[in-house]
Homo-oligomer: A and B are copies of this chain.
Amino acid sequence: MVTNKVGRSVPLFVENLGNFAPYAGVFVTAPTGRRHATSIRRCLSTNNKLLPSIRESIIASGLKSGMTISFHHGFRNGDMLVNMVVDEIAALGIRDITLAPSSLQSVHSALIPHIRSGVISAITTSGLRGELAEVLTREMLLKYPVVIRSHGGRARAIESGELKIDVAFLGASAADEYGNMNGVHGSTAFGSLGYAMVDAQFADCVVAVTDNLVPYPALPISIPQTQVDYVVLVDRIGEPKGIMTGATRITRDPLELYIAAQATRVIEASGYFKEGFSFQAGTGGSSLAVAKFLKERMSETGIRGGFCTGGSTGYVCEMLHEGYFSAILDTQCFDLAAVESLRTHPRHIEMSASFYANPHSKACTAHITDIMMLGATEIDTAYNVNVLTGSDGVMMGASGGHSDTAAGTKLRLVTAPLIRGRFPIVVDKVHTIITPGECIDVLVTERGIAVNPSQPALAKRLAQAGIETVTIEELQQRAEKLTGKPEPLLQSEDIVALVEYRDGTLIDVVRRVL
């Protein structure tokens, strides 16, 4: 174990996972080597890609014990595919699988028996939730620690070959029998296939799974036939209700609205709210309200934005349609209104996870965005942010694009209530570092605004605009006056998860909670 740049003790080697370098700074660790060389499989005129069942596709793919499978998380908590595929893998007697989806949800708690029985022996994901997250934090179920990667970091790991995917099972709400697919048509439409694009490009074998086989060519082509080995038609790949709501609602919580109003003031005073500014709203409680307030200010001032990036919600799509923004670059649709916009609006387009956030791509949008709204389950006095583990130390969130966007965006703004439940949000040291403090510019809470001391110019601009700020230590004291100092967590030395920074170095570990 060595201590990394943010003071966390991380291993240099983990069995089965190999060597790791400690986190050394946001852009310090440069890429080496070349990308993973992808598999070549030809398809003759006489080949038939269409297979009658998941089971047939597992057999055809050549999946064997010890291999790695992947999925995208576009269906979110309505996903039926991961559980279906792992059930079949178990039934076929295959074991020791590494599960490498772009993220996991509560619905995947159904996997726990397959973990206990050894069908799944390793997991890498952006996040995990519910009972699955709980047991993986409290028990030593897996042979090897879970590897937590950011969306950009996962794209990087797949492209570099660090995460080699043997078989990708990619759900599509529309596909043709030659493998072209999208997520915008059909009864289980979920929107952007952005996260799946990297898997499709680099996995040795790609299986498209759909409940909606359409005539060739399935248009639009989000993932092309050239990357797909097999197509499987099943009854249903996802539960529409779990996939998404009609439209994400703007919060009515007065506390979140107040924080959003304060954040909007900060954005306006920051110097980045100007013609052509680019924006990532995120989906936290306050962030959509920030979009609404920004729209009001844009309407009043005549300022118009450039692109919006990241995931999309109906509200932001409406801003595109009304001309407030010029384009949406989308990895993931958060509601049906966003799916409809992606399907119909020519300036609302899908982007891959690599295009969005891969630090080692020739260009990622996260490096040229102006304003990013970030959330936090905890933030410490060095501005390090946790979005993975709760105040009880148990995994319950996701790394997502948090550290990716924070690394390159010009204004990195965290909004959070100062107290959540009975816990203070500002702490001495966050339980798990997802995003290092050097990437956070300002914290907006309902009880005060703190600017990172590394950003004196921003502090000055806020002062000039009459926005009062305090130190983050002052916010911490304000919180602790109400909650008291939180008790230290009871945890063992056992490492249940490794947290990779987006460049592949280790920024933190998650230890077993007792």
Contact = CB atoms under 8 A, between A and B. Distances in A.
Report, as a range, how many residues of chain A touch the other chain. 35 or more
Interface string A205-221: 01000000001110111
Contacts of A32: 40
A326 interface: yes
Contacts of A206: 362
Interface string A32-58: 111111111111110001000000000
A178 B368 CA distance: 9
Contact of A363 (B43, B307, B365): B43
Nearest to A307: B217
Given A217-B329, A221-B349, A360 B31 contact: no
A27 interface: yes
A346 to B, nearest CB: 7
Given A34-B37, A220-B349, A276-B215, A45 B226 contact: no
Contact of A42 (B38, B44, B359): B359
A226 B346 contact: no
A306 B215 contact: yes
Nearest to A225: B363
A96 interface: no
Given A178-B368, A306-B216, A347-B219, A228 B363 contact: yes
Interface stretch (A81-89, A140-148, A238-246, A350-358): A350-358
A361 B226 contact: yes
A364 B31 contact: no
A224 interface: yes
Interface in A58-100: none
Contact of A37 (B37, B45, B329, B358): B37
A34 B38 CA distance: 6
A314 interface: no
A224 B225 CA distance: 19
Nearest to A228: B362
A408 interface: yes
A407 B44 CA distance: 10
A217 to B, nearest CB: 5
A160 interface: yes
Given A306-B216, A363-B228, A39 B43 contact: no
A179 interface: yes
A346 B184 CA distance: 14
A229 interface: yes
Contact of A362 (B27, B43, B359): B43
A435 to B, nearest CB: 15
A472 to B, nearest CB: 24
Contacts of A215: 276, 306, 326
Contacts of A44: 27, 367, 408
A34 to B, nearest CB: 4
A327 interface: yes
Given A39-B34, A40-B160, A45 B368 contact: yes
A317 to B, nearest CB: 15
10 contacts: A33-B40, A34-B38, A40-B159, A40-B360, A45-B408, A179-B362, A206-B362, A215-B306, A219-B349, A221-B349
8 closest A-B pairs by beta carbon, nearest first, are A225-B363, A34-B37, A37-B37, A45-B408, A226-B361, A45-B367, A35-B38, A43-B363
